[in-house]
Amino acid sequence: MDFTLSEEHQMLLDTVDKIGRDFPREYYVEHAKTQTFPQEQWDALGQAGILGVNTPEEYGGSGMGMLALVLVQERLAEHGVAPLFFVVNQGIAVPSISRHGTDEQKQRWLPAIASGEKRCCFAITEPNAGTNTFKITTTGREEGDHFMLNGSKLFISGINDANQVLVVARTDDGEPGQKARLTLFVVDTDSEGLTWDRMDTMLLNAEGQFFVYFDDVKVPKENVLGEVGGGVNVLFDALNPERMIVAAGSIGGGRHVLNRGTEYANEREIFNGPIGAYQGLQHPMAEAKALLECGSLMVQKAAALQDSGHHAKVVGDIANMGKLVGTDAAFKAADAALQCFGGYGFCESYDMVSHFIGARLGKVAPINREMTLNYIGEFILGLPKSY
Ligand SMILES: Cc1cc2nc3c(=O)[nH]c(=O)nc-3n(C[C@H](O)[C@H](O)[C@H](O)COP(=O)(O)OP(=O)(O)OC[C@H]3O[C@@H](n4cnc5c(N)ncnc54)[C@H](O)[C@@H]3O)c2cc1C
């Protein structure tokens, strides 16, 4: 067991650090406030080959795998910017296409994702089917050489800045008493009948969330990813990467906010000496720091297990526990750091509340804390299913 970074990973992180310095938190905040995509940062990541770290080499990436991807996301977040597209594009679309796409599909989509020329977002959530995916009502009806999509989704991140959207739709209700059969479609965002409206979240994100409507959207059969009715199999392979990438972003964000808190607490003097000496401020930050590093180790372990070809269950156990610890730690870090700032923490110019809200999101989306605990209870501890 070797806990040191390889030379290749270290070089990758040196490049990420440079991009992080060139496009710091202020750059992202500016784009979030104007709701514009941080294209210059994306281009820099593309030019440095970072957008293709987990894309196989034969499809234009560097094939460095999941560990490289989580290291990148963790470090970008530490600089204050965790691109949301790393979750849906690199975290969900790339593993799904790489694993389940035909060679033609891989050629069609992966090189453009790796270069940064194209982005893919992900659409599963519906108003009456959040955590319970099998209740979705968006349908894909087979008609000759294509499927016709009808229905609606919500909370779809970044569709306005994406070229494709990976859509989960119901293609068969299944036998009575059985689950619906779902299918994954890669849909061009400029398809006729596909429209969207912005949702009004209170997150400070450059990539917004959207209501998405499918009104007789014609999708060629060659855009079905995996088997018709076999969408769940494709999704299962994307879940572990998604857990890891979300946790990595949270952990890096936690480190960023702790750095902000400690810097301020070392300078601010109210009674005798800096406020950072008060254990009421210092201990929660110390605890958060320890938990962040635990989460980081777990996520790196899950990624390394995935890269070395371990079974998805082995990877999933560690990925879920890492996601739980990492996102909880990030919230503790944001809470503790915010406390240091006193009233100033609530001034917009201090940009602290945005971290607090962002860290809180990690307990809800893309997978809520309770479902992660359900996984651990049921699949690791062997306890009965509760829902
Ligand atoms: C910023 C943001 C970005 C998002 N981006 C995307 C995206 O790009 N694409 C996409 O498809 N979706 C996206 N989502 C949607 C997100 O994945 C869902 O919000 C999430 O899956 C939860 O669904 P829900 O909101 O309907 O909550 P519900 O399913 O209604 O759950 C509500 C709460 O009930 C509890 N709960 C639910 N089920 C159980 C259970 N079995 N056991 C115990 N407790 C339970 C949890 O605490 C949960 O928070 C995004 C959401 C947000 C906020």
CA of 368 to the centre of ligand 1 (A): 6
Task: Clarify whether residues 376 and 245 are in a common domain.
Answer: yes
Token pair 């371990």: residue = 310
Whole-angstrom distance, CA of residue 139 vs CA of residue 47: 38
Q: Would the CB of 387 count as within 6 Å of ligand 1?
A: yes
Whole-angstrom distance, CA of residue 356 vs CA of residue 217: 39
CA of 29 to the centre of ligand 1 (A): 25
Task: Clarify whether residues 168 and 237 are in a common domain.
Answer: no
Arithmetic mean of pLDDT, 208-222: 98
137 in Cβ contact with 128 (< 8 Å): yes
The residue range of the domain holding 339 is: 232-380
CATH number, domain of 156, equals 2.40.110.10
pLDDT at residue 321, as a whole number: 98
Residues 6+ apart with CB under 8 A from 347: none
The residue contributing the CA closest to ligand 1 atom 38 is 131
Task: Clarify whether residues 73 and 136 are in a common domain.
Answer: no
14-25 pLDDT per residue, tens: 999 999 999 999
The residue contributing the CA closest to ligand 1 atom 53 is 365
CATH number, domain of 362, equals 1.20.140.10
- Displacement of CA 155 from its chain's centroid (Å): 13
Task: Clarify whether residues 222 and 283 are in a common domain.
Answer: no
Task: Clarify whether residues 21 and 65 are in a common domain.
Answer: yes
pLDDT at residue 2, as a whole number: 86
CA of 204 to the centre of ligand 1 (A): 19
Residue 262, domain member (yes or no): yes
Task: Clarify whether residues 174 and 257 are in a common domain.
Answer: no
Q: Give me Rg for the CA atoms of the chain.
A: 21
Task: Clarify whether residues 114 and 126 are in a common domain.
Answer: no
Q: Which of 87, 88, 131, 328 to mutate to test the pocket of ligand 1 (most atoms within 8 A of CB)?
A: 131
Residue 303, domain member (yes or no): yes
The residue contributing the CA closest to ligand 1 atom 40 is 371
Task: Clarify whether residues 89 and 32 are in a common domain.
Answer: yes
Arithmetic mean of pLDDT, 175-198: 94
Q: Is the pLDDT of residue 176 over 90?
A: no
Give the domain-ending residue among 229, 260, 287: 229
Task: Clarify whether residues 113 and 128 are in a common domain.
Answer: no
- Displacement of CA 288 from its chain's centroid (Å): 21
Q: Would the CB of 364 count as within 6 Å of ligand 1?
A: yes
Full DSSP string of 134-152: GG---EEEEETTEEEEEEE
Residue 1, domain member (yes or no): no
Q: Residue 108 — very low, low, confident or very high, per pLDDT cuts 50/70/90?
A: very high
Residue 216, domain member (yes or no): yes
Q: Would the CB of 133 count as within 6 Å of ligand 1?
A: no
Q: Is the pLDDT of residue 69 over 90?
A: yes
pLDDT at residue 175, as a whole number: 83
Q: Residue 122 — very low, low, confident or very high, per pLDDT cuts 50/70/90?
A: very high
> β-pairing, 194-198 with 181-188?
unpaired
Ligand 1 atom with minimal separation from the 153 CA: 11
Q: Residue 177 — very low, low, confident or very high, per pLDDT cuts 50/70/90?
A: confident
The number of folded domains in the chain is 3
Ligand 1 atom with minimal separation from the 201 CA: 1
The residue contributing the CA closest to ligand 1 atom 12 is 125
Arithmetic mean of pLDDT, 85-90: 96
The residue contributing the CA closest to ligand 1 atom 43 is 370
Task: Clarify whether residues 221 and 236 are in a common domain.
Answer: no
Q: Where are the alpha helices (DSSP H) in the chain?
A: 7-22, 25-34, 39-47, 65-78, 85, 94-100, 103-115, 231-267, 279-307, 312-340, 353-361, 369-375
Q: Residue 241 — very low, low, confident or very high, per pLDDT cuts 50/70/90?
A: very high
Residue 112, domain member (yes or no): yes
CA of 23 to the centre of ligand 1 (A): 30
pLDDT at residue 74, as a whole number: 98
Average pLDDT over the chain reads: 97
Residue 212, domain member (yes or no): yes
CA of 17 to the centre of ligand 1 (A): 32
- Displacement of CA 42 from its chain's centroid (Å): 16
Task: Clarify whether residues 87 and 205 are in a common domain.
Answer: no
CA of 313 to the centre of ligand 1 (A): 22
